[in-house]
Amino acid sequence: MSKELYTSDGAKYWRETLSEHIIPEWRKNVDEFEADIALKKMGKIDFKLFAETRLRMGAYGQRYDNGHRYDGKVVRQIPFPEEFKGPDTYWDAPGMQRIKLPWGGLNAEQMELFADLAEEYSDGICHITTRQAIQLHYIHIENCPSMYRRLAALGITTREACGNAVRNVSADPMAGISPADVFDVTPYANAVFEFLLGHPDAQDFGRKFKIALSGNKDEAAGLVNIHDLGLIAKIKDGKRGFEFYVGGGLGAVPYAAHLFSDFVTEDEILPLAQAVCRVYARLGEKKKRHRARIKFLVADMGFENFRDTVIAERAKLTPDPRWSDYLKNIDRFQEKPSRPAGSGIAKTGNAEFDFWVKTNVKPQAQAGYAGVIVTLPLGDITSNQMRELADIVRKYIPDTVRTVVEQNLLLRWVSENDLPALYADLKAIGLNLPGAESILDVTACPGTDTCKLGVSSSRGLAGELRKQLAEKSTHLDEAVRKLRIKVSGCFNSCSHHHIADIGFYGISRNVGGYVVPHFQMVLGGQFTHNGGTFGIGVGGIASKAVPAVVEKITGMYANSRQPDENFHDWVDRTGKATIMQSVQDVMEVPAYEKDKSYYVDWGDVREYSVKDKGIGECAGEVVTLTDFGLKAADRELFEGQLRYEAGDIVSAGARAYQAMVFAAQALLKLNDVDISGNPDVVMERFTKEFFDTGLFNDPFAGPKFAQYYFQGHTHRGVGLDKEKTSLFLHESQLFVEAAHSCYARMSMAGTSTTAA
Amino acid sequence: MINLQNIQWKIHLAEGATPNPHEWFKSFGTWIPDSPEVFVDVADYSHVEDGPVIFLSGHNVAYSLDGAGRRLGLLYERRQPADGSNAEKLLESFTSTLQHAALLEADASFTAKPDFVAGDIKFIVNNRGIAPNNDETFATLKPELEKLFDKVYGPNAYTLTRDQDKRQRFTVHVKANTWVSVNAALKSLA
C-alpha cells in the first residue's frame, strides 16, 4: 500500500519532519494508527475494531456524531457522507481528542504546541479536564496522526487516554511545594505512568483504570479516595513509602477506596500496582460494562479475599529492573526557581489585586515562593491566551506548570516579589480572574455541549452560576466563598459532583407533558481529605431554578452556621429535609404557557422538548398517575436517605427498595392504572413490559439501571450493612431517575400508551 | 508551489462594534437546518478572550464570531480538503465568506445589525505544515492574492501585510484604501 494514500501535504510534512524526534515505540503507535485510518477508508477494517483502536489513542466520539440533532422542534438528520468510524458514529462527524498529561505536567513549549493544535485542528480552545488532561473538540479523525506526531515530538502521548486501560496518572498539582506534603510524589507518579503505559498486564481490562498520587492525607491533594488505585506519601522509620489504596471510584455510584496497605515501600509500589492490574484483568467483569470497574470486583470478592489474591499474585511476579530503576533518577524532577525568593506577600491596598492574591495565590513550603492558580472559566483557554501565558511562564518561573483537577492551571515557584507584575501580565491577557478554589470557581464537565452522554447543560449552568456569584463575590460570606460547586451533565460524575459541597448532575423530568431540564442536587460531599466524603442526592431541581436554590441554601448556611462549622457538618445538623423544605418556594416549575424559559436549558436557544402530541386528554390522566407514582418514589427515596443519616439502616434499605418499586409501578401505570403494588407482580410486569422490550434501556447506559432494580429485588434492602445500604441508596436514586428519563423519552416519542 | 488548504478568511466588524453573543448564537443556530452546508452545532465561548466567541461547527466549513487578535469579525474556516487551483479556492472561499457576512447583515433578528468592513480582511492558512509563516510563503502566495484583490478593490487600491510573529499561522492583512461594503465587494466578484 502506498503511503501517499493516506497523506495530505500537511500530514506528510509532519511525518517527515518529526518522525526522527519521536520515541520509537510512540512513533510505531502513530504509524500504525495512520495505517489503520487508511485501511478503514479502504474498507479493510471493521468499524468496531477501528473504534477500539481510535479510543485507545484518545480519539472520542462527540455529541451528534450519530448524525441526529434535535433543533428544538424535530430531530434532524445531519447529512454526513455514509462512512463510519464506529457503531453509529459517522466518519466525518467532529470528535473529541483527549490528551493525557501525567501528573498534570506542562511546560511553555508544550503550551505553545497546544495553542497551535487547537487552532489548526480544533476550534481554538484548549479545555482542561477534571483529571488533569487537555481536551480538544471538533477534531476530524484524519488529522489525528499529525496531531499525535507533534505531541509525541514534545514528549506527550495520547495512548491509553481512553479505552479500557490505565488512564492519565494524576497527582496533586501542589506536589512537592505544598506545606502539607510529606514528600514530592511527582517522580513516583511519573514512574507509575511510564511503567504501566502499554504494559502487557494492563491491556485486558473490562473498563478504565484511574490512578492518583497524593503528597498528604488532609488536603484534597490527588483525590486518592475516588480512584481505582491511589497512593498517599508516608515516611516510616525514615524510609519513603505510601499508603496504598484500591477500589475507589465515582461514576454513578460512588465507592470509597479501601486501604490495601498502610505502608508500601517506594521500590514496591510498581510491582504491587502490577499485581493489582493482573488480578483486575483476570478476574474483573468483562461483559457487563456497568459492573466492570475494579470497585465492583473488590465488592464482589470481598476486600480481604481481593487483597489476599493480589498478594499471592505479587509473589508470583518475575522481578523487573524497572521496579526500582527510576529511583536512581529521582532528582531529575527536582525543581529550581528561576527568580530570587520573595520577602512575603503584603496587602497593597489595590482591592482587585489583594482579592486575587487571597483566592489564587498559595504559599509554598519553600519560603518566598508561591503557587499561582490561573483561573480558567469552565476550564477553557484560547490559543492566543495559551501562547501568551507560555511567555509569562518563561518570564517568571522555571517552566513548571501543572493542570489542576478544578480545570485551572497552576504556576509553581512564583517569587512573592513578582506577584504584582505577574498579576498585571495576566490581566493584560484576560487571565486574572480571582476566586480560584472557591464557590466562584464552578467545575463542570462538557455535558450537553459536546458529550454524547449529557442530559442537561452542565457548562451552561456552571457559566450562569459563575456569572451570578461573581457579581456578588466581594460581598460573599467567607464561609460561603470557600464552598465548592461541581456540575455534571449526567450521573457519571465527571465533574466530581459527589465530593462537592453542592453538587449537581443532569436529569430530566416530565412537567405537564413537557420534558424539562433538571439537575439532581447532591449535598454534603467533601473535597478535602482526598475527596473523603460523598454527598447524597436530595432532589431534582429545574435547571433554571438552580441559581435561586444555590443562593437560598448558601444564605441559610451563612446565617445559621455555628462558628467554625463547615458545610458538611451544617447539612448534617440542619437536616436535608429542612434544607429542601426551605427552597420549595423557588423550585416550582411554572406552566409552559406562563414561562417558557424553564423549558430551554442554560446556554441553549432550543426548546428542550416538545409537547407530547401522542397523549390526548384521556392519556393526560394516565400521565398524572405516572407523575404521581414517580413523585412517590422520589419521596420514599428521600425518606430513606434521611433514615440512613439518622442511623436507621434497616428502614433506609427498605425505603430504597420501595422507591424502586414505586418507580417501576409508576411506569406500568401508563398502561394499567390498576397495577398491583405487590413487589413481585411489579417486578414481573416491569421485566416483561419495560426490560424485555428494551423500553427502559438508557440510550447510553443500556440496561444498567434496571439491573440495580433486579439486584435490589433479590435482597429488598434487607440485611445490608451500612456501606451496602449507602450504595443501595445511590442505586435506587439512579433507578428512579432512569424511570423519570424513560417516561420523558416515551413522552417525547409519543409512546406512552404503547408500552406493552 | 503550495496546494492551498485550510483557508481562513476573517472579515472584521466595524471598530467599536459590540455584538451580542446570544444573538449570534441564535442566528448561527438557524443556519444548521436551513443551509446547504453541513453544519453540526453551535458553541458559546463568550466567557474567554482573544479567540472564538460563538463557533458554528461544520463539516466542510466552520464559521465563528471571532475575537482573536482582539478584533471582532466573522471567521470563515475551510475544514475539509478543497479541489481546484489556488485561484479558484481563494475566489470560492472569499465569495462564500462575503455571502455569509451579507446573510448576517440581512438577519433582522439582530438588535443592532452587524456592520462588516469588507476592506479590512485577514487571510490565514490554518496549516503550519503547508504554509509556514515566512517571507517565502508570502512571496509564493502574494501574486495569487493580488489577482483576487485587484478584482475586489482594484489595482493599487489596497495593501497586503504579512503578520511577522513567527508563532502565528501564515496571516496576511488585506486593507483597502477606502471603505468597502460587503455588497460592493460581492458585486465586484460577480
What is the residue-wise DSSP string for A737-754? Answer: HHHHHHHHHHHHHT-TT-
User: Rounded to an integer, what is the distance from CA A10 to the centroid of its chain?
Assistant: 34
- Examine residue B2 and state whether it is found in any structural domain, yes or no: no
Report CB contact under 8 Å: A430, B48. Answer: yes
How much is the pLDDT for A609? 52
Domains of chain A: residue spans and CATH: 3-152 (no CATH), 166-328 (3.30.413.10), 357-428 (3.30.70.3340), 473-611 (3.30.413.10), 613-756 (1.20.120)
Given a contact cutoff of 8 angstroms between Cβ atoms, the answer to whether A717 and A579 are in contact is no
* Cell numbers representing residue A70 in the block: 434535535
- DSSP state letters, A47-93: HHHHHHHHHHTTEE--TTTTSEEE-SSSEEE----S-EEETTEETTS
How much is the pLDDT for A7? 66
Chain A nearest CA to B163, separation (Å): 14
List of long-range contacts for A140-143, beta carbons under 8 Å, 24+ apart: A140/A92, A140/A94, A140/A95, A140/B79, A140/B80, A141/A37, A141/A54, A141/A59, A141/A85, A141/A91, A141/A95, A142/A6, A142/A8, A142/A11, A142/A37, A143/A11
Measure the CA–CA gap between B89 and B93, rounded to whole angstroms.
6
- Examine residue B1 and state whether it is found in any structural domain, yes or no: no
* pLDDT, tens digit (0-9, with 9 covering 90-100), for A506-541: 998 888 888 899 999 999 999 999 999 999 899 999
Measure the CA–CA gap between A636 and A170, rounded to whole angstroms.
39
* Cell numbers representing residue A745 in the block: 423519552
Residues in chain B within 8 Å Cβ distance of A8: 5, 81
Report CB contact under 8 Å: A80, B47. Answer: no
Measure the CA–CA gap between A728 and A743, rounded to whole angstroms.
22
- Examine residue B13 and state whether it is found in any structural domain, yes or no: yes
Residues in chain B within 8 Å Cβ distance of A450: 43
- DSSP state letters, A136-171: EEEE-GGGHHHHHHHHHTTT---TTSSSSSEEEEEE
Residues in chain A within 8 Å Cβ distance of B64: 123
- Examine residue B162 and state whether it is found in any structural domain, yes or no: yes
Given a contact cutoff of 8 angstroms between Cβ atoms, the answer to whether A379 and A105 are in contact is no
Measure the CA–CA gap between B145 and B138, rounded to whole angstroms.
10
Chain B nearest CA to A751, separation (Å): 26
How much is the pLDDT for A620? 29
Residues whose CB falls within 8 Å of the CB of residue A535, separated by 6 or more in sequence, listed in order: A497, A498, A499, A500, A501, A503, A522, A523, A524, A525
Q: What average pLDDT is seen over chain B? A: 96
* pLDDT, tens digit (0-9, with 9 covering 90-100), for A49-63: 788 889 889 999 898
Residues of B124-155 as b/e, b for ≥16 C-beta within 10 angstroms? Answer: bbbbbbbbebeeebbeebeebbeebbeebbee
Chain A nearest CA to B62, separation (Å): 9
What is the three-class DSSP state of A667? Answer: helix
Give the nearest chain A residue to B57 (CA atoms): A138
Residues in chain A within 8 Å Cβ distance of B50: 382, 384-385, 388, 429-430
Residues whose CB falls within 8 Å of the CB of residue B184, separated by 6 or more in sequence, listed in order: B118
How much is the pLDDT for A51? 85
Q: Which residue among A120, A382, A429 sits closest to B126, beta carbon to beta carbon?
A: A120
Q: Which residues face A495 on adjacent strands?
A: none
Q: Which residue has the higher pLDDT, B126 or A645?
A: B126
Given a contact cutoff of 8 angstroms between Cβ atoms, the answer to whether A507 and A737 are in contact is yes
Q: Which residue among A14, A125, A138 sits closest to B129, beta carbon to beta carbon?
A: A14
Report CB contact under 8 Å: B48, A93. Answer: no
Given a contact cutoff of 8 angstroms between Cβ atoms, the answer to whether B132 and B46 are in contact is no
Q: Which residues of chain A have pLDDT under 50?
A: 1-4, 610-623, 752-756
Measure the CA–CA gap between A356 and A375, rounded to whole angstroms.
10
Burial of B108 (0-12, 13-18, 19+ CB in 10 A): exposed
Which structural domain, as residue segments, surrounds residue B183? 7-189
Q: How many domains does chain B have?
A: 1
Amino acid at the residue A665: Q
- Interface probe, candidates A9, A122, A409, A457, chain B, greatest B C-beta count within 10 A: A9
pTM of the shown model: 0.90
Residues in chain B within 8 Å Cβ distance of A387: 167
Residues of A89-128 as b/e, b for ≥16 C-beta within 10 angstroms? Answer: bbbbbbbbbbbbbbbbbbbbebbbbbbbbbbbbbbbbbbb
Compute the C-alpha angle A438/A444/A445, nearest 5°.
Answer: 150
Q: Which residue has the higher pLDDT, B89 or A52?
A: B89
Report CB contact under 8 Å: B33, A92. Answer: no
| Residue A104 forms contact with B (CB below 8 Å) | no
* Phi–psi pair at A470, nearest 5 degrees: -65, -35
How much is the pLDDT for A611? 33
- Give this complex's ipTM: 0.98
Report CB contact under 8 Å: A9, B129. Answer: yes
Amino acid at the residue A361: V
Measure the CA–CA gap between B53 and B38, rounded to whole angstroms.
21
Chain B nearest CA to A79, separation (Å): 6
Q: Which of A241, A240, A223, A312 minimizes the C-alpha distance to A276?
A: A312
Give, for A657, the enclosing helix (H) or strand (E). helix A649-668
Report CB contact under 8 Å: A123, B69. Answer: no
Measure the CA–CA gap between A26 and A194, rounded to whole angstroms.
12
* Cell numbers representing residue B22 in the block: 446570544
Measure the CA–CA gap between B164 and B148, rounded to whole angstroms.
22
Given a contact cutoff of 8 angstroms between Cβ atoms, the answer to whether B180 and B144 are in contact is no
